[in-house]
Amino acid sequence: MLPSELEIRDLVGIGFGPSNLAVAIALEESDAPLDAVFLDRKPGFAWHSGLMFPGAEMQVSFTKDLITMRNPRSRYTFLNYLAQQSGDRLGKFINLRTFYPTRVEFNDYYAWAAAQFEDQVRWNTEVLTVNAVPGGDGTELLEVVSRDQVTGETFSTFTRNLLIAPGGTPHVPAGTELGERVFHASETRERLARSFDDHTAPYHFNIVGSGQTSADVFMHLRRSYPNTRITTNIRGFAMRPEDDTHFVNELFLPAFTDWFHGQDAKFRQKIIDDYGLAAHTGVSYDLIPQIYREYYEDQVAGSRVLALHRFTELVGVRADADRATATYAHLDSGQTSLVESDAVILATGYRYPMPIPALSGIGDNLCMETPQRYAIRRDYSVESVEGFGPKVFLQGFAEATHGFSEVLLSLMPVRAAEIVRSITETDSEPVKTR
């Protein structure tokens, strides 16, 4: 059966986290609604579920939700979510006098919005590959081959446009053997519940990393395991605060993306290097003194259950049945040392590796700016060879060309609208196959 005889989608989205959820909202509010379906390997909506610690706050204002930056009158705003909840949540949130909800509450907001698009999402669906196929009307289509993770059934979905937003891939340093006692911080809640369920036990946890995730994990362990030891290893001298000062925050205004994309690659990289703390590794300013006080009070009490090892770089981790052993290089002395613990928690961030394996079937049609990075147009689509009709859009992969907001929540609704606009303009002028 030819694709022309089957249902052909205007858009297939891979992943249904906040980025593609913002696109679903933009599609609904568009003047030219498109036929879209989203495929996600998870069994249901979840956003950083392993880091949903009680009390952990967002680092961005609630106004940087799924839609407010573009359409504050939308029914999908965080404030409208609050208004829809029972118990006068809106009034009580206002009474908190804060712009920063907890991660737990913001995740619930996302889930509330996602539930309104259930008919457009296929959960438990793993995308295997993407192929280019001729359409019956002379245009070229994309065949997205997927597998239902419950039934094992493989099926194809045909589309004119593809949108990939899988979220970052947890970064695991070289030489690390993952297992029950060695895991990425993104799995913290699940791993603790499964393997460290005695909250009174004198466990010893070794945290690797100095960013916001490391800080959140540290505070969660202190609150939940009062008798635990915590050793934190960082490559630098200290945790550094995020730079969210007023002028620097203009990096996240919608106009900045246009300006940034128009600069040459060398200058763009200089901006990323100079202002990295606006988007990466920085810890919330209010959280740093809380952590420092924990260390101070530990010293006053003479407990010595908290340790901060500076200028140490992880070079390997191995684990056996009853402990994990991490090897560190000391950047100041050149020596190495070992830390034995019950578990090593890797707060080592995320990566967006390219080329994307699922796109290998159409790789010859997509242009690379460098061997590690696609050439990405201003509308977030990948540059393609002449005559290749379908557009492949990426969300989260374009920091080098579009700026810091690409890997954060700040401009999601603006980016979503730009992608939808590009698709509608493309669909008005079909591109013929070569």
Quick: pLDDT tens for 134-161.
876 667 999 999 999 999 999 999 999 9
Q: What is the mean pLDDT of the chain?
A: 93
Closest by CA position to 141, among listed 129, 157, 154: 157
Q: What is the CA radius of gyration of the chain?
A: 23
Dist. CA 432–CA 160, nearest whole Å: 12
334 conformational bin, left if phi > 0, alpha if psi -120 to 50, beta if neither: left
Predicted confidence (pLDDT) at residue 280 exceeds the cutoff of 90:
no
Tell me the pLDDT tens digit for each residue of 24-59: 999 999 987 789 999 999 999 999 999 999 999 999
Does position 431 have pLDDT exceeding 70, yes or no?
no
pLDDT band at residue 1 using 50, 70 and 90 as cut-offs: very low
Distance separating alpha carbons of residues 114 and 324, to the nearest angstrom: 39
Please determine, for residue 421, whether its predicted confidence score (pLDDT) is greater than 80. yes
- Quote the CA–CA distance of 349 and 186 in Å, as a whole number: 9
pTM of the model: 0.93
Q: Is the pLDDT of residue 256 over 90?
A: yes
Q: What is the pLDDT of residue 427?
A: 54
Residue 73, SS3 per DSSP:
coil
pLDDT tens-digit map of 49-94: 999 999 999 999 999 999 999 999 999 999 999 999 999 999 999 9
Query: Looking at the predicted structure, is the pLDDT value of residue 188 above 90?
Result: yes
Q: Alpha-carbon distance 413 to 418, whole Å?
A: 9
